[in-house]
Structure 1
Amino acid sequence: MVVDSGAFDGDDDEDDLDALLGAAPPLRTATRKPSSLTQDVREAFAPHGVLSHAADQFRERGGQTEMALAVARTIESGGELVVEAGTGVGKTFSYLVPALLSGERVLLSTATKTLQDQLFGRDLPRLVDALKLPVRTALLKGRASYLCLHRLDLARHDTSPERGSLRTLAKIEQWSKATRTGDLAELPGLDERSPLIPLITSTRDNCLGAQCPQFKPCHVNLARREALAADVVVINHHLFFADLAVRESGMAELLPSVRVVVFDEAHQLNETGVQFLGVQFGTGQALDFARDVLAAGLQHARGLADWTQRVAAVERAARELRLAAGQQWPGAKLRWAGEAPEGLAAAPWQGALNELQQAFEDAGEALATVSEISPDFIRLHERAEQLAERAGRFAQPCALGSVRWVDVGTQLRLIESPLDIAEAVRTRVLKKGASDVDSSGRAWIFTSATLGDDPQLRWFTEPCGLTDAEVLRVQSPFDYAQQASLYVPRAFPRPNDPSHGAQVARLAARGAALLGGKTLVLTTTLRALRTIGDALRQQLDHLDGARRPEVLVQGELPKRVLMDRFRAGDGQGEAGCVLVASASFWEGFDAPGDALQFVVIDKLPFPPPNDPLVEARSQRLEAEGRNAFGDYSLPEAAVALKQGAGRLIRRETDVGVLAICDTRLVTMGYGRRLISALPPMRRLESEADFDAALEALMP
C-alpha cells in the first residue's frame, strides 16, 4: 500500500441538502422487456454494431463483451457484481452501454475528479450520441470543487496578505462572471495547491445554506438541481461517502429512484470510505473557526462581545494541544490506545483537550447572543457546538472496532477510523437484512483493473462487505510477452541499504539516457522520492543539453502540469522527460505511446507496519487466527505493484521495460506470488538482457 494524502482529489461535501430533496421531476422510464437487454448489448458490441461508430478503431473484444453481458444480467436481476477488468479490456464501455440501454436511472462513481471529467465530457456524450438515446446527464462534485460566490465576495474585501495573490483573485473574479457551472476545473492555470482555493470555496462548516445571500445563484445548488433532473449522474467516491457519513440513506436520499450504481476504479473504495466514516478533529479546524469568528464578529457585531478574547482562547488552547504533542518528526503518526497518544503524558494532553472544548463552548455562548444579526453567526454557533462535541469525544476512550491516532505536522489531526467499510456497505449501502423496499432489485457494479491477486478477489470483497457478490475476472487483451519485459537486478543493495536510492537512480539514468527520457520512476516513500530525484539530476547532468532529459519530481510542480509535460515527451525534437513520483502516480497516470517506455519501481510497496491503521488491521487478522502477512500485507503489495506496473503498457502498440529494484522478489518465497500477480511479461535474467531490451527500444 502506498499512502499519500494527495492520492485522492479531496472532495468535501457533507452539507445538508434537505432544501433540494423535494420531489424529483419525472424521469425517463424503461420500456424494454427485461429479457431483451442482454441481446441489445450483444448486438451493440458486434463488429458492425453501434459501438463501431462510437469509438475510433473499434473492434470486438471477447473480454469486453463478456463483461458487458455480465453487467447487463446484473441490471436485469439486481444484486452485486465485482469485475476485475485488465488494462485494455475497455471496461468503461462495458458498463456504460448496458447501463444506458437499460433505460434505468444510473449513478456512476469514479475515483477522482479528473476521471469524472473524462467520463462526463468524453465517454458519455460519445455513447449517448451513438446509441441515439434521449438521456440527460449531469456532473456532480463535492462543494470544494465549486466557486462559492459568497466566499468570493468575502475574499474580495479581505486585504490580508496571506489571502493569496491579488492577480489570481482578479482572474477568478473575471471568470466568475462568465462561468455557468462554477467548476474550478474550468479555470485554466489555477494551481490545485493554491492557498486561495479554500478562501473561495465553501465547506460544510462554513456554508450558510438557505440563509446565504447568494443561495439562489449558488453553483453547488445548481449542480444539485441538474443532478435531480438527470437520468445519468457522474459523482466520485469522496462525494458518495461524504454523503453517506452525514445521512444514513446515502446517495439514495439525493437520487431516490436510482436503480443502477457503478463504482469505477473501485479498488479505492475502502480507503476512501474509512476517511469519511470515521471522525477527524484538528488544530487547523480550530484556527479556521477562530479566524471566521473574528472576521464575522468585527464586521457584523463589533462591540457586542469580546471577540478578540474568545478567539484568543481558542487559539491558545489549540496551541497548547500542539505543544502537548511535543517534538515529533513531521508526518509522524502517533498510536493512541489509552488516555493519550504513545509517548505523551496523559495529564497535559487531556488538559489541553478539555481547555479546547471549553473554549469552543464559550465562543458558542457569545455567538448565540448575536445569532439574529447575521446568518453567519447561526452557522458559526453550529460549528462551535460540533467542534466542542468532537473535542469531548476525543477526550473519551476510542469507539469499539475503531482505531485512533494523531497525525503530526505543523498542525495536529486527531483521527478515529473504522478498520474497513464492510459493515457500512452491508447495512447502509446495500441494506442487507433491511426491509427497505427502495433498495431491493438495485444493481451494484464494482470494477477496476486491479482488485486482488486471488480468484475470489478477497483483497477487495472482504473489507468492502461484498463477500456474497458475483466475481468476474477478465484478462487484458495485450500480448505482454511481446510488448513488455520485466527486469529484477540480482546484484543490488537491499531496500533498507543507504545506497539503495542512489543505485535506483543510476539504473533509471541508464535507461533514460538511452531512450532520451521516456522514464517513470515510482517510489514508495517521499524520502526516496527526493533522494532519487536529486541523484538522477546528477547522473544525467553530463549529457549534452539537447540530449539531456528533463527530470521532473512530484511536488515541484502541480500534478496536472507534471503529467502534461511528461506526455508531451520529445514532440519538439528534443529529449523527453524522466518523472520521479510517489503515491498517486502509481495509478491514474496514463502516458500511452512513445512518451513512456521504461518504468522503474524502487521497492516492493508493502503497507508500512508502523501505520496505526495497518497495525490494527493486522492485529485483527491475527486475533482471528489468520496470517496478517499472507492475508493482508502481501495482497496489499500485490495490488499496488500491479497498479504501478500497469503504467507501462496502455495500448496494444505500446512496448517497454519494467524494472523492480527489490531483490526480495527473486530471493524470498513470497516473491513468486507477487510476480504471478504481474502481467505475464518476458523475464530478463541478466544485465546483458536488460541492456539489449533497452537498446531495442531506442529510436
Structure 2
Amino acid sequence: MHTPESTPTGPPSLQDAVREAFEAGAALSRAADAFRPRTGQTDMAMAVARTIESGGVLVVEAGTGVGKTFSYLVPALLSGERVLLSTATKTLQDQLYGRDLPRLVKALGLPVRTALLKGRGSYLCVHRMEMARQDASLPDRSALRTLAKVESWAQVTRSGDLSELPGLDERSPIIPLVTSTRENCLGSQCPRFRACHVANARREALAADVVVINHHLFFADLAVRESGMAELLPSVRVAIFDEAHQLNETGVQFLGAHLATGQLIDFARDLLGAGLQLARGLVDWQGVASAVERAARDLRLVVGRTPTGARLRWTGAAPEQADEHDWQSALDGVARACEEAMEALETVSEIAPDFVRLSERAHSLAQRADRFAQPGPSGVVRWVDVGLQLRLLESPLDIAEAVRTRLLGQSPAGDPASESTQNDAADDEARSIRAEAAASRAWIFTSATLGDDARLSWFTEPCGLQGAEVLRVGSPFDYARQAALFVPRDMPRPGDPLHSTRVAAVAAQAAGALGGRTLVLTTTLRALRTIGDALQTRFGIEGGLDILVQGQGPKRSLIERFREGATQGRPGCVLVASASFWEGVDVPGDELQAVVIDKLPFPPPGDPLVEARSKRLESSGRSAFSDYHLPEAAVALKQGAGRLIRRETDTGILVVCDPRLATMGYGRRLLAALPPMRRLDSMDAFEAALATLAAATRASTTDPASA
C-alpha cells in the first residue's frame, strides 16, 4: 500500500520496455553476440513503439547497418499485438521466419506463435502432382526424374514449401505442374483438400500471433478481396512492410488486369489433361484445346518479329507495331475459343469439380480478352510485354488510391463520404467501419532507400502516404574511411557504342588488381551481354578468374559462388548482373571490394509506364525530370551502391562509369543521395586505392590476426 506522498506506478509502457531491451547487456545481447547499443537503431525502435501505441503511419528510411530488423521486431513482439510482417522476397521471408524471429522470441522470453505464409505457387499441390503423372506433355526424362523426386518428398514434407526440397531448380518446368494458381485451384471441392498445404498454411497463419508474408501475396489478395488479406488483415493491429521501396512497383502489377498467351496455353494443357483422364470420349478434347492454343499463337503472331524483352505502347485500339484489324480479330478469336471451351465443359460439369473450375477459368479468360478489346479506362496505362509469351497489361500509375481507400480506410479522392447519396448508405457504413479500424492500426513502412528528400516523396507520394510521420536514420558506417567513389572523367558518354567496352576495361582493371571480388551492375541487358562477353574473353585467355554472368545460372547459385570467392583452390569471381541484382545482394567481407556501375540508372524513356507517369506530372505543371526521373535514378543508384559496404569492417571502391555524375548540374543531387564516400579524382588515385585494398586483403589472408 503506497503512502500519500508516493506516486502510483502502473505497468511499464511499450516504449519503456523497448528502451530497456536495447540497453547494453539486456535481452538483445542474448539474441546477437555482436549486439551493442546504437543510437540510430534505438531511435527507430522507439518511433515504431510510439506508432504501435498510438496508431497511425510511420515511414522510416534506415541506412545500411542500422539494424532495422531488430528495430521493428522488438517493439512488435513486446507489444503483444497481432502482427503482420511483409517483405519483398521469399528469401527474405525465410530469413525473417527461420532466423531473426526465433532468435528474438527466445531472447525476449515471449510465448509467441509465428507462421510463414507464401503464395500458392510456393506450395506443393498434391492433386495437381497426381494429375501431372498422367500428363503426356511432360518435357523430357529429366522432368520425369524431377517429378519422381517431388513425389518422394511429398511423402515426408509437413509444410509442402517447395523451397525446402533440396536441389529443385526454381526454374524447373515441373513446378507449374505440381503447384496451383488462383485460376486452377479447386478449393474445398478438391479430392485432396484435406492434404492441401496452402489451406494448412492459411489455417496456421490465422492462429498465429506474428505472420510473415511477402508483398506479392499481399497485393495479389488485395486486388481480389477489398477486405485486405482475406480474414487475416482485419484481425491484425500492427502491419510492417520491410523493403518497402518495392511496394509501388509490386502493387501496380496486381491492381490492374493482365492476359498472357502463357495462361491460355496452360489452360489448354489442363483442359486436355483433365478431359482425357476424367471424361475421355465424351468431348473432342483435343480439338477444343487445340482451338485455344491456336488462338494464343495467332495473338502472339500479330506483333510479328518484335524483339524479346520489348514493351509496346498501347494508347489506341491496338499496340504499336500491330495492325488494328488483326489485333481485334485475334482478341475475338481468344474470346471465342474460350467460350467454346466453356460450352464443352458444361456438358461434363457434374463428373468432377475439375471441370467446374476449368469452366470458370475459361469464362475469366474470355472476359479479359473482351476487356482488352475495349478502350482502356482513364487513369490507367496499357502496354504489351513481348517474350516467349505475349503479356497484355493494364495498370494504375501507382498504388496511392488503393492504399488510401483499402488500407487506411479513407474516402476515394474526389468522392468524400459527405457527397454520398442515400443509396450509398451501406457503402458509407462499411467505409466508416474500415476507417475506424484502420485508424487504430499501426502501419510501419521501412527500407534502406526511400527517397532523396526530407519527406521521402519518391516513396510517400505514389503510395498515398503523404500524411505519414517520416523518420530518416543514417548509417553508422564510416564511409569516408571504408569506401571511395571514382567517376572516370574520360569515359565515353553512355550513348557511345564504345561505352560498354570501356566499362568492361575498368571492371577488368579492378578485378585484376583485387583477384576478382568485383560486382558489375548494368542498366540494360545489352550492356550486360557486352560487358560479360568482354570479361569472359579477356580472363578466358589470361585465366585466373571466374566470370559469372546473370542468366547463366539461377540467381541464388551465382551469388553463392560469388560469396565463396577464391576458396578451396577455386579462382576469384567477377559477377556481371542487372535488374534484381541491384538490391538484396548481401556479400559482406573481403569477397566484394569493388562495385562497378555502368551508367546512371534513369528509368527507360521508352517504357509505357514511365511515359504515362511523366505525362501525368507534366499535365499538372510539374517537371517529369526533376520530380520523377531524377528521384528514380537517385534511389536506384543508392541501392546499387549499397551492395559495397555491408559491415563495419568492409572496405571497397564504388566506380560509376558515367561522366554525367561529375559534369552535369543534376549530378550534385545524385551525389548527395550516395553515402559520403571519399572521392578519387584521377586514374592514378584509383589504381593506388586498388593496390591498398589488395595489400590489406593479402595481409589479412596471410595473418588473420591482423584483419
TM range (shorter): over 0.9
Structure 1 residue 254 displacement after superposition: 2.5
- In the alignment, the residues of structure 2 paired with residue 511 and residue 686 of structure 1 have an alpha-carbon distance, to the nearest angstrom, of 14
Corresponding residue of 1:488? 487
Q: What is residue 552 of structure 1 aligned with on the other side? A: 548
Query: Which residue of structure 2 aligns with residue 289 of structure 1?
Result: 267
Residue 597 of structure 1 is aligned with which of 576, 589, 593? 593
Counterpart residue number, 1:518: 517
2:35 aligned with 1:36: no
Aligned to 2:220: 242
Question: Counterpart in 2 of 1:117?
Answer: 94
State the distance in 2 between where 1:447 and 1:481 align: 25
- Residue 148 of structure 1: aligned partner: 125
Q: Deviations over 1:92-149 (max 9, x none)?
A: 0000000000000000000000000000000000000000000000000001001111
Alignment match of 1:694 (pick from 674, 690, 695): 690
Residue 440 (structure 1) shift: 3.0
Is residue 435 of structure 1 aligned with residue 444 of structure 2? Answer: no
Is the Cα contact below 8 Å between 2:135 and 2:273 reproduced in 1?
A: no
Q: CA deviation at 1:165?
A: 1.9
User: How much does 1:364 deviate?
Assistant: 0.5
Give the Cα separation in 1 of the matches to 2:297 and 2:138: 22
One-letter identity of the residue aligned with 1:339: A
1:344 CA drift (Å)? 2.1
Is 1:274 aligned to residue 242 of structure 2?
Answer: no
Does 2:284 correspond to 1:306?
A: yes
Which residue pairs with 2:462 in the alignment?
463
2:452 maps to 453
* Structure 1 residue 580: Cα displacement: 0.4
Q: Which residue of 2 aligns with 1:362?
A: 340
Pair 1:373-2:369 in alignment: no
Contact 1:41 1:101 in 2 (8 A): yes
Alignment of 1:475-624 (within 5 A): 475-543=474-542, 545=543, 548-572=544-568, 574-624=570-620
Q: Is 1:42–1:65's contact at 8 Å kept on the other side of the alignment?
A: yes
The one-letter amino acid paired with 1:182 is G
The corresponding residue for 1:51 is: 28
Secondary structure at the aligned position of 2:193 is classed as coil
Counterpart contact for 1:34–1:76, Cα < 8 Å = no
Letter matched to residue 139 of structure 2: E
Match of 1:15 in 2: none
Answering whether residue 47 of structure 2 is matched by residue 70 of structure 1, we say: yes
The SS at the match of 2:595 is strand
CA displacement, residues 56-77 of structure 1 (integer Å, 9 cap, x when unaligned): 2111000000000000000000
Amino acid of the structure 2 residue aligned with 1:125: P
Match of 1:265 among 235, 238, 243: 243
After the TM superposition, which residues 618-657 of structure 1 pair with which residues of structure 2 at under 5 Å, given as runs?
Answer: 618-657=614-653
Shift in Å, 1:626? 0.2
Partners of 2:227 and 2:234 within 8 A in 1 = no
Hey, what does 2:322 align to over in structure 1?
A: 344
Cα offset, 1:313, TM superposition: 2.0
| Rounded Cα–Cα distance in structure 2 between residues aligned with 1:374 and 1:152 | 17
Distance 1:357 1:33 in 2: 67
Determine which of 173, 186, 209 is the counterpart of 2:164. Answer: 186
Identity of aligned residues (%): 72
Cα deviation code 1:596-646 (max 9, x no counterpart): 001100011100010000000000000010000000000000000000000
Structure 2 residue identity aligned to 1:609: P
Could you tell me which amino acid in structure 2 is paired with residue 296 of structure 1?
A
How far apart in 1 are the matches of 2:410 and 2:10? 28
* Distance in 2 separating the partners of 1:155 and 1:365: 25
Whichever residue aligns with residue 440 of structure 1, its letter is: A
Query: How far off its partner does 1:35 sit?
Result: 6.6
Q: Is the 8 A contact 2:48 2:71 kept in 1?
A: yes
Please, what TM-score do these two structures have when normalized by structure 1?
0.94
Aligned length: 665
Which shifted more, 302-311 or 502-511? 302-311
Q: Counterpart of 1:354 in structure 2: which amino acid?
A: D
Large movers: runs of 4+ above 3 Å: 32-35
Following superposition, the deviation at residue 305 of structure 1 comes to 2.0
**Aligned-partner SS, 1:593:** coil
Partners of 1:105 and 1:232 within 8 A in 2: yes
Q: Structure 2: which 5+ runs fail to align?
A: 1-8, 412-430, 699-707
1: CA distance between counterparts of 2:499 and 2:208? Answer: 53
Q: Give 1:535's aligned amino acid.
A: A
CA distance in 1, matches of 2:480, 2:599: 23
User: Does structure 1 conserve the Cα–Cα contact (< 8 Å) formed by 2:221 and 2:230?
Assistant: no
Selected match of 2:144 from 166, 172, 177: 166
* Cα RMSD, aligned residues only: 1.3
Q: Which amino acid aligns with 1:692?
A: A
How is 1:391-430 mapped onto 2 (pairs within 5 angstroms)? 391-430=369-408
Greater alpha carbon shift after TM alignment, 508-517 vs 259-268: 508-517
Point out where structure 1 has 5 or more consecutive residues left out of the alignment.
1-31
CA contact (8 A) 1:35 1:76 kept: no
Matches of 2:683 and 2:604, distance apart in 1: 31
Is the 8 Å Cα contact of residues 252 and 258 (structure 1) preserved in structure 2?
no
TM normalised by structure 2 equals 0.93
- Using the alignment, how far apart are the partners of 1:594 and 1:588 within structure 2? 18
Tell me, yes or no, if structure 1 residue 85 matches structure 2 residue 85.
no
